[in-house]
A and B are shown apart, each in its own frame.
Chain A
């Protein structure tokens, strides 16, 4: 009998199925025949979770034999990891396949926001250069103090790149990291008071939701810039919009929002923000590598070999046990 793989979200099809349909039997609650579904629902061991489709205890209850959830994203805030750990279900993520591209994007948003690239491009395309003359001066990137909220593999890569721009780096994370010599701040607010730019790239958890609060943004100050490539809910978006509109923070480069694809309309009129539709990792090379790592995880699972990008659930101290 072919090994069975469960999926819940139809976009899984485009990403991975064509490469695997010869080797595995796929099961889906909406498209599989009733007889097939009812014969396998009790025995299926692996779930493919593409994009942000939620996996919670209700989902897990339906498939009592699940042993593994293969995710397609870097952050797994849509998967109830505490519940998976409790049930002994293993979980994999996208590993670092998106890291370089998310980091490039963060640096791009940072330069764009400070140097007003998107605004200046609108200025030229709208014909304003010839009529209004000189474009207003912007702010330099060189030598700025950058605070990284979340010093994982993305934070590290951002630091490496920004050092080449003469930026000084400081960071906040749950604990100081070994092998990282940048100044560590135990609170994000303290970090924000000591930098010009705050780059948000930590994982979204119950603890980090709205970690960039009104107080943190006030500490960043009138000339401070926020870059968010993590998740929208890391920032208190309502407060951020208010502060941006009032000029109480200097600007923002945002690839993620709290209620995607809805973006607060107040931001559309602002020239000190750069808005992007969650495209940080969206280059063909990354998606190809994502396919490879997801397939490799599925194959390793059925071959009883170590998974490639397994989350060490036992060591995640922020998950309530």
Chain B
């Protein structure tokens, strides 16, 4: 397969990059100075694109690669890939579901605990030598808080299972009520937000779920409520979130994703009731290796004419 051209869109994992380089003719898109020129010269050899949550395959790129057969994404979300265009052209698309579910759910609970119990602020307090000047303030209890989950898919369910071990009552919103669960269902996000203390965004990003957390939802969650976002930045109307946090209309937030990554709103940097993470939901060595193996496995299956491991399109 050494002659098959694979275009990697951005640096995402050194193990994956190494393995792709060994097995295919690898092009590193981020190192190419003249992309137009490059695409013209190599469009006939590139048969696969490897993207992630930052860079995928938009309509323009797909149009410029006439031999493209497969887009294998190093992510579970596919919002950076023009899926309709892929369908239209018969291009296969794969993602990396399941392997990151547990990591993202672990981090969601970690964010809840970090926001409520002020773990990061405590760590700053000690490192600045402030403990000697007096006790750190009281924080907020987690066990028993009601948790509302937007999107009860694999990740949402894994979060619910963990939160239940902390005796948290679970409720959820999704397009339709799930038959196989006893969690309380709310048909509107506002109702869910009004009836929980911690609201977690765990749905996929689609045109319908863009800004699903708007001003009304934030106000329904209220000055004691906490928002956790481990989905995608654009799920949240970030300008509204920032003003609610700055004005104290929302109790706190734990955010792993932002609208303009790798930028996070500077207005939040001085706030102690937020925890800000650089999109590390699946950022563990174990999981990234499993994700890389899935990307490689899908590409090899495709080029050996075997069934794909995790096809989406």
Give complex CA distance A283, B136 in Å. Answer: 11
User: In the complex where A137-B284, A165-B106, A286-B141 touch, is A124 in contact with B276 (Cβ < 8 A)?
Assistant: yes
- The reply to whether the CB of B215 lies closer than 8 angstroms to some CB of chain A is no
Give complex CA distance A143, B113 in Å. Answer: 19
- Residue ranges of A at the interface with B (Cβ–Cβ < 8 Å): 100-101, 103-105, 107-109, 111-112, 115-118, 120-125, 127, 129-130, 133-135, 137-143, 160-161, 163-166, 260-263, 268, 274-277, 279, 282-287
In the complex, what residues of A have CB within 8 A of residue B166's CB?
104, 161
Q: Which of A101, A139, A166 is in CB contact (< 8 Å) with B141?
A: A101
Q: Which one of B81-89, B201-209, B219-227, B261-269 is at the A interface? A: B261-269
Q: Within residues 198 to 248 of chain B, which ones have a CB less than 8 A from any CB in chain A?
A: none
User: In the complex where A112-B110, A121-B120 touch, is A140 in contact with B132 (Cβ < 8 A)?
Assistant: no
- The residue of chain B having its C-beta at the shortest distance from the C-beta of A255 within the complex is B122
- The reply to whether the CB of B59 lies closer than 8 angstroms to some CB of chain A is no
In the complex, what residues of A have CB within 8 A of residue B107's CB?
111, 115, 117
Q: Which one of B33-41, B157-165, B174-182, B301-309 is at the A interface? A: B157-165
**Contact between B117 and A104, CB atoms less than 8 A apart:** yes
Q: Which one of B17-25, B68-76, B148-156, B285-293 is at the A interface? A: B285-293
User: In the complex where A118-B120, A275-B122 touch, is A138 in contact with B264 (Cβ < 8 A)?
Assistant: no
- The reply to whether the CB of B140 lies closer than 8 angstroms to some CB of chain A is yes
In the complex, what residues of A have CB within 8 A of residue B11's CB?
133-134
Listed A/B pairs (16) with beta-carbon separation below 8 Å: A101-B143, A105-B113, A111-B109, A115-B283, A120-B280, A124-B264, A124-B276, A135-B278, A138-B280, A140-B286, A275-B123, A279-B117, A282-B135, A282-B139, A284-B138, A284-B141
Q: Which of B122, B166, B286 has the most CB of A within 10 A?
A: B122
**Contact between B110 and A111, CB atoms less than 8 A apart:** yes
- Residue ranges of B at the interface with A (Cβ–Cβ < 8 Å): 11, 102-103, 106-107, 109-111, 113-114, 117-120, 122-127, 131-132, 135-136, 138-144, 161-162, 164-167, 261-264, 269, 275-278, 280, 283-288
In the complex, what residues of A have CB within 8 A of residue B165's CB?
160-161, 163-164
- The residue of chain B having its C-beta at the shortest distance from the C-beta of A166 within the complex is B102
User: In the complex where A111-B107, A121-B276 touch, is A130 in contact with B139 (Cβ < 8 A)?
Assistant: no
**Contact between B164 and A164, CB atoms less than 8 A apart:** yes
Q: Which of A112, A130, A284 is in CB contact (< 8 Å) with B263?
A: A130
Give complex CA distance A70, B136 in Å. Answer: 25
Q: Which of A104, A140, A287 is in CB contact (< 8 Å) with B287?
A: A140
**Contact between B114 and A117, CB atoms less than 8 A apart:** yes
**Contact between A282 and B277, CB atoms less than 8 A apart:** no
Give complex CA distance A284, B135 in Å. Answer: 14
B223 CB to closest chain A CB, in angstroms?
16
**Contact between A274 and B102, CB atoms less than 8 A apart:** no
